[in-house]
Amino acid sequence: MRQNLQITAAAPDPALLDLPWDVPLEMWPDEVLAALPRGISRHIVRFVKMSGRVIAVKEIGETVAYREYELLRQLSRIDVPSVEPVGVITGRRAPDGEPLEAVLVTQHLQFSLPYRALFSQSLQPETATRLIDALAVLLVRLHLVGFYWGDVSLSNTLFRRDAGSFAAYLVDAETGDLHDRLSDGQRSYDLEVARVNIIGELMDLQAGGLLEEDVDTVDIGARLVDRYQRLWTTLTVEETFNAGERWRVAERIDRLNEAGFDVGELDITTDIDGTTLHIQPKVVDAGHHSRRLMRLTGLDVQENQARRLLNDLDTYAAAMDRQNDEEEFVAHDWLTHVFEPAVRSVPRELRRKLEPAQIFHELLDHRWYISREQGRDVPVPEAARSYVDNVLRHRPDELAVLGASGLADEDEDA
């Protein structure tokens, strides 16, 4: 029986048509699949190679598929870190005429890592807390734009390295809802679901021997709540002070910048007699440092990578005695004389292991480390050679953690 496929996509790729839609996802042949580690999902999910990229295909009910597609589109429009939706495909039929489930197709996030892959690589206990911190930032950002997630978990999140920490991306919006503004009840429910899910996921890693037995999973779950609440307060709390202390407005903005946020709109009100000032941030946008770096250099990187690069730029300006020059000019010179040569010194075949900004960050770390060891200021080109030979060469390939699985089928669709 012929299929009558319906493809809904913003920018359809004709290669989509070549995939075996008449076969249940569970039985797709290995040659179309990309060997990526799969998360825990209640649906069948497969990573598929298509036109030189990787897409994620999830079998899911038709109405839910359209709903999630729309939500993901809205989220990417308002610039929330989430996976990019590719489209929805319905009307699938097996050759015997049996109807098959609709699928939601999303773009696989390059250099992203599911938490289970991170734990299978290295057993550092800090990995867990870093993931939690990244997830707390993501949850605050989602709540600020009015997104209620409904099923916050490590499984529904992807992580990208971001200098010494991680940046989190939302992958599963199935249970989510976009509102004008979230109620405190919605936020606290999301947070409680997150806490319980995270602890459950970590307990599961312990049961599987991927996380040490003595790690206090309940404590890590509580850390999320704590991190979230502190950041939420920093971003939203109303402050009241004397009209004479106006410097506190600037101080509040600095504090928000420090936390990685820009103030889009600040509400300032005074009492009738003008002696008391109230300030409350109305609109805050994440990515303060990454936007600044983008403006100066055109580099599009994660927030903490941007911090690191901006610090190096400042060091460069100081070393060249150019602190009073126009920042744009200094940044341009730093880009062409420091950043680009360093990244280019990495052999081409090793570049896909990490994002360029992450390579640069690790190179700076490595340089600091060997400089201290050798008691001298090791020049960047020399540090780069040492980094490539002693560190990068031994790192797994993270453009798309191909073959790094080892988790293969044990955990699918549970």
Footprint on this chain of other proteins (rule: CB under 8 A): 40-42, 60-61, 63-64, 101, 148, 150-151, 153, 155, 175, 180-181, 183-186, 188-189, 192-193, 196-197, 199-201, 203-205, 207-210, 218, 221, 410-411, 414
CB of 92 to other proteins, least distance (A): 12
Residues in the chain: 414
Identity of the residue, 179 or 246, whose beta carbon is nearer to other proteins in the bound complex: 179
Cα gap 257→251, rounded to integer Å: 10
CB of 123 to other proteins, least distance (A): 15
CB of 209 to other proteins, least distance (A): 8
The answer to whether the CB of 240 falls within 8 A of the CB of 276 is yes
The answer to whether the CB of 205 falls within 8 A of the CB of 211 is yes
Cα gap 269→52, rounded to integer Å: 54
CB of 211 to other proteins, least distance (A): 10
Identity of the residue, 65 or 383, whose beta carbon is nearer to other proteins in the bound complex: 65
Identity of the residue, 143 or 367, whose beta carbon is nearer to other proteins in the bound complex: 143
Closest CA to 178 of 77, 313, 33: 77
Q: How many CB atoms lie within 10 A of CB 95?
A: 10
Structure tokens at 233: 């307060």
Identity of the residue, 63 or 324, whose beta carbon is nearer to other proteins in the bound complex: 63
Identity of the residue, 211 or 317, whose beta carbon is nearer to other proteins in the bound complex: 211
CB of 407 to other proteins, least distance (A): 9
CB of 398 to other proteins, least distance (A): 24
CA neighbours closer than 13 Å in the CB half-sphere of residue 326: 5
Structure tokens at 161: 């390295």
Identity of the residue, 199 or 346, whose beta carbon is nearer to other proteins in the bound complex: 199
Identity of the residue, 208 or 356, whose beta carbon is nearer to other proteins in the bound complex: 208
CB of 101 to other proteins, least distance (A): 7
